[in-house]
Amino acid sequence: MFVIVGYIVVMASVFGGFAMAGGHLAALWQPLELVMIFGAAIGAFFVGNTPKAVKATMGALPTLFKGSKYTRDMYMELMSLLFDVLSKVRKEGLMSIEGDIESPEQSPVFSKYPLVLADHHIIEFIADYLRLMVSGNMDAFQIENLMDNEIETHHVEGHVPASCINKLADGLPAFGIVAAVMGVVHTMESVGAPPAELGMLIAHALVGTFLGILLAYGFVGPLGALLEQKLEESSKMFQTVKVTLLASLNGYAPALSVEFGRKVLYSTERPTFAELEDHIKKAKSK
């Protein structure tokens, strides 16, 4: 919704200001300029990226028009899930969660938290490291190093779509100049035409530069920035799991381990200690 509203504001400001200054909006409608700019940009996009990067970018685009799923409710479910798992381990031993981590979708513990269960990346992350804890062959330092490497890999992979979009935005002003130069060449070919016609041709050529810059900074560039912000939000889930599990490995009680995880959350989504405690009590009563 914010993306659409932002686009409307950009268009209203630019085109509305042009119209209020006495400009004719019809002069800005140049389909051939758009064909040159978009065609060159799309072609360069496919040339400059691997099929895997192209697929990742296409898959990320629909998420830009959806709100963030990483809400306070999502984080409270995550921490309640971790509390339940660690409490079960403390009471019944590590082997008691073996069935839960092998089939999280069928686990009575995991199934209480549908928001978290719907995110297969975080579920896989939790299950993998609980499985390593069950094996008992790795200490906290080894697991922390492995977690850091996996989170870094996730971050690098998630940054691919944002990088592709940002590079596309960087190239649009140049493609706008290319379109403008093509217009100037066409104008020079028509140098014998009447002044009024030449003026029209020059105006059409300048629209190419205008469109390239507007598309880059008003439409495509902000999408890359938004993808980067969404990536940072998704990484916070992994950091919360990491801190909580490491606290448990170092001997802290489940309630205190979850508190460690709560502290790494952004202040805008971080529940208070009392809110988290109430949520955990309600989850336990289900």
CA distances from 228 to 30, 164, 222 (A): 32, 11, 10
- Mean pLDDT, rounded, for 234-240: 90
pTM of the complete model: 0.81
Section 258-271 average pLDDT: 89
Residue 60: its H or E element: helix 51-60
Q: Average of pLDDT values for 59-85?
A: 88
Residue 53 clears pLDDT 90, i.e. is over it: yes
Question: What is the average pLDDT across 11-36?
Answer: 87
Q: Mean of the pLDDT values across residues 87-105?
A: 87
- The Cα 57–Cα 10 span in angstroms is 24
Q: Which helix (H) or strand (E) holds 238?
A: helix 221-249
What's the helix, strand, coil split of the chain in %, to 5? 85, 0, 15
Host H or E run for residue 197: helix 195-214
Residue 283, pLDDT > 90, answer no
Range with the poorest average pLDDT among 32-41, 96-105, 147-156, 182-191:
182-191
pLDDT-derived band at 199 (thresholds 50, 70, 90) equals confident
Phi, psi values for residue 202, rounded to 5°? -65, -40
- pLDDT tens for residues 140-185? 888 889 999 999 998 999 899 999 999 999 999 999 999 888 888 8
At 272, is the secondary structure helix, strand, or coil? coil
> What are the Cα distances from residue 92, in Å, to 95, 150, 168, 198, 206?
8, 29, 54, 85, 73
Q: How far apart are CA 269 and CA 72, in angstroms?
A: 5
With 90 as the cut, is the pLDDT of residue 30 above it? no
Residue 204 pLDDT grade (very low, low, confident, very high; cuts 50, 70, 90): confident
pLDDT tops 80 at residue 281:
no
- Name the token pair of 67: 């709100």
